[in-house]
Structure 1
Amino acid sequence: MYLRLVREGSGYRYILRETYRDNECWKFRDLMDLGKDPAEYIEYPGGCGFYFKPEIEETLQEKGVDYTSEDLEKAFFPFLDPYVRQILEKFSNHRSIHSPWKSFSNDELYAHQQDLHSFDRRRMHFLRVGRVDIGDLEGRPWKFLNILLEKSRDEIEHTIEEMEKMLRPHEVRLYIYTALHLQSYFPAHLLRNHPIGLDPERVDSYFLEELCRLNADHRFFKGMDVPEDGSLHPFLVRYAVMYFDHEFSGGSLDNYIKEFFRRREFHHRNKVTRSIPTVEACKVFGISVETFKSMTRKELIQLYRQCAKKAHPDKGGDHETFVRMTDAYECLLAKK
Structure 2
Amino acid sequence: MSLLALPRLLPLLLRPTIDALFTWNLPWRYRWRTLILQPITFLTFSMSSARWLFTRAYTVEYLPIAPGRTIRALIFKAPSSGPNKKLHPLHIDIHGGAFIGGWPEEGAVFCDQLARETGAVVISISYRYAPKHVFPAAHDDVDAAIRFLQTHAEAKYGADPGLLTMSGFSAGGTLALAAAQAEACRPAAKTGIKACVTFYAVCDLRLKPQEKPVPVGMPDDPAKFLVPLYDSYVESVRAENMENPRMSPILASVDQLPENLFVWVAAIDILVHEQTTFVEKVKQDLAKDPKYAGRRVEIEIDEKGFHGYLNLPDAIISKEKKQKAFSPAVKFIKDTHVKYGFEW
Larger radius of gyration: 1
TM tier relative to shorter chain: under 0.3
The answer to which structure has the higher helix fraction is: 1
Which gives a bigger RCO, structure 1 or 2 (Cα 8 Å, sep 6+)? 2
TM-score (norm 2): 0.21
TM-score (norm 1): 0.22
